[in-house]
Structure 1
Amino acid sequence: MGLEACGAEVTSTTWDGEGDGGVDFDGLWTRIYSSSPRTLRLSPTLRWEEAREPLHAGVDVGNMVGVGPGMPFVHALLRAPACPRGAVVGLVPCAQGGTPIANWTHGSDMYDRMVTRACVAGAGAGRIAALLWFQGEADAMRCEDALAYAWRMEAFVRDVRQDLAMPNLLVIQVGIATAQNQGKWLDLVRKEQRAVRVPNLKYVDAMGLPLASDVTHLTTQAQVRLGKMLADAYIATL
C-alpha cells in the first residue's frame, strides 16, 4: 500500500511537551518515534527506508522540521481493522514550509519534485493511495491569494491526477487553523478551501486543535490527533 503525503506549509512542530503529560493518545503517542519495517518513507535520494521523525528531514529544505501528522497517520492506519494484514505503508514527504499554493503550480520546481517522487513511489509493486494536503497559511497574508485559493487548488488536483495518470486519486485536504505571520485572511482561505469542488476530495478540519506557543504551528498533541483524523478519512473510503 503506497501513500503520498504532501503539503506546502510547515506542518510539524518541535517537541514542546504542551498538554501531553506522557498521555498515550489512543495508543499512538508511544510509537510516534518508533521505526518499523511496515512504515517506510521515500528519502531525499529516492530510496525507501524505515520512516522516523522528523519525517521531512532533508526534504523540507531551509526550515526547522519536527513532529507532523504523517507518522500518527500511519500508526492509526495500520491499527485499523480495514487495513490488510501485513500491509506496508510508504510515506512520500514533499512539503516545503512557508509557500503559497501559487508556488505549486504545474511546472514549478516544487510541483515537479513532488511528481517525480510520486512516480518513483508508485513504480513496481507499490501504488499511490492518497495525497494528503496541509497547506494554505501563506495564502492568508494577501486578499488576492486568499480569493484565488479554490480555483488554484482545483487546478492543482487536476494537474496532479493527469501527470500521475490517476484520474480518481484520493485527495484529503486539511482546513488550516492558523495564518502565517498572523495573516488577516485566514477565514477567507478556509472558506475557499471548503469551496473546492473536485471529485474524490475529502476535507479534514484542523481548526480547534491545540496551538503551540508561537500561535502558528500545532502542538505535538494536535499533530497526533490530526494524524488520526486523516487516517479516519482515508479508512472511510476503503
Structure 2
Amino acid sequence: MKHSYNIKILVFLLFLILLWDYLNSGIIIKQKLFPQVLEDDNDDKKISIFILAGQSNMVGRGGVINKVWDKFVPPECSSDPRIIRVNENSELEIAKEPLHAGLDHPSKTCGVGPGMAFANAILKKVPNFGTIILVPSAFGGSSVSEWASSNSSLREKMINRTNQAVRYGGKIRGLLWYQGETDTQSEWNMRNFPGEYHKFIHILYKELLHPRVPFIQVALASGQGKSDLLERVRAAQLGMEDIITVDAMGLAVKSDGFHLTTMAQVHLGNMLADAFLKSYI
C-alpha cells in the first residue's frame, strides 16, 4: 500500500516537472542560448532586439556574382555567441553570414549585408552591451507599397517574428531600414513613394506597439531607373522627420549598378552602429 502511494507521488511530481518545462519553454531556450544574462535576468538591457527590413541591399548581395556567393566573410562580419538571429522557422540560432539565408526570395542568392557588421561594431564599441538578437526580415525587390498595404504579408511576417524574439526576453532597440531602389523604376512608383513610406511607418509603429523604437533608414546609394527618379526618392527619404538617416551615397556599388559590394556593406554596418549608439547613449 505504501509502495503504491510512493509511485503515485513520483508520477505526480514528474507531471509537475513536465508542465513547468512546457510553460517556461522560452526561459529554458534563453538559458541555453544566453548564459551570460542569467546573472541579472531582470535587466532587459542585457538582450537587445534589432529588426532588419527593406529590400535586397539590406538582405545583402555582397560577394554574389552570377547568383553565386563567394563565401568571403570579412572579420567585421564574423559570428559571435552574443549575436543571435531569428531564422526562417522563428527559432533562435547563432547568427552568421549570409544573415538572410532562408528568408529572401527563393530565386535570389543571399550574400553579405550590413547586419552582422552592425552588431559586431556595437559589441566592439560597447563591450558590455549584452546579447543582440537580429530579426532579418528584408525581401529582395520589394516596393514600399508592398510593406505599407493593409494586408502586407512582408510586414506581417516581420511583426510576427519580432514578437517571437520578444518572447525570449529583451527589448526592441531599433529597426534598420534600407529600401527604395524598386521605387526608382517608374514615375508612378516614385510619385507614390512619399505617401506610402509615411503610411508604412505609421502602421509599423501601431503594430509593433513600441512607439519609441528608433527607426534608422538608409538613404539610397543607387537606383534601378533614371537618375532623376533616384534623386527624387532620395529627397523624400532625406526629408523624413523624426527618424534617423544614414546616407549610403558614395559607397562602392557592384558592377550590376545598384547592389553594394561586400566591403561597402561592412562600412554601412559601421555607419548604422554609430547612428544607433548616438541615439542610445
Structure 1: gaps (5+ residues): 18-27
**5 Å matches for 1:116-135?**
116-135=160-179
- Indicate yes or no: 2:188 matched with 1:144: yes
- AA aligned to 1:228 is N
**Counterpart for residue 44 of structure 1:** 88
Q: State TM-score, norm by structure 1.
A: 0.88
Residues 171-227 of structure 1 deviation map (CA, whole Å, 9 limit, x = unaligned): 000001111266751111101111223x3x100000000111111111111000000
Structure 2: gaps (5+ residues): 1-47, 66-72
- AA aligned to 1:76 is A
Cα distance in 1 for partners of 2:162, 2:64 equals 32
- Indicate yes or no: 2:136 matched with 1:93: yes
Cα distance in 2 for partners of 1:208, 1:72 equals 18
- Indicate yes or no: 2:56 matched with 1:15: no
**Counterpart for residue 146 of structure 2:** 103
Residues 113-142 of structure 1 deviation map (CA, whole Å, 9 limit, x = unaligned): 111111111224221111100000000011
User: Which entry has the higher C-alpha Rg, 1 or 2?
Assistant: 2
- AA aligned to 2:122 is L
* Contact map agreement 2:186 2:225 (CA 8 A) in 1: no
Cα distance in 2 for partners of 1:178, 1:209 equals 9
- Indicate yes or no: 2:260 matched with 1:218: yes
Tell me the secondary structure at the aligned position of residue 144 of structure 1. Answer: helix
Tell me the secondary structure at the aligned position of residue 154 of structure 1. Answer: helix
Which residue of 263, 266, 270 maps to 1:228? 270
Cα distance in 1 for partners of 2:171, 2:262 equals 29
**5 Å matches for 1:164-203?**
164-180=208-224, 185-197=229-241, 199=242, 201-203=243-245
Cα distance in 1 for partners of 2:121, 2:62 equals 21
Residues 129-181 of structure 1 deviation map (CA, whole Å, 9 limit, x = unaligned): 11100000000011122122222212111111111111122100000111126
Tell me the secondary structure at the aligned position of residue 44 of structure 1. Answer: coil
**Counterpart for residue 75 of structure 1:** 120
**Counterpart for residue 105 of structure 2:** 61
Question: Which protein is richer in helix relative to its size?
Answer: 2
* Contact map agreement 1:146 1:192 (CA 8 A) in 2: no
Tell me the secondary structure at the aligned position of residue 136 of structure 2. Answer: coil
**Counterpart for residue 14 of structure 2:** none
RCO comparison, higher one (Cα < 8 Å, 6+): 1
**Counterpart for residue 6 of structure 1:** 53
Change (3 A) 1:35 1:145: same
Q: State TM-score, norm by structure 2.
A: 0.75
Number of residues paired by the alignment? 223
Shift in Å, 1:16: 6.8
* Contact map agreement 1:211 1:219 (CA 8 A) in 2: yes
Cα distance in 1 for partners of 2:198, 2:213 equals 13
Of all paired residues, the percent bearing the same amino acid is: 35
RMSD: 1.9
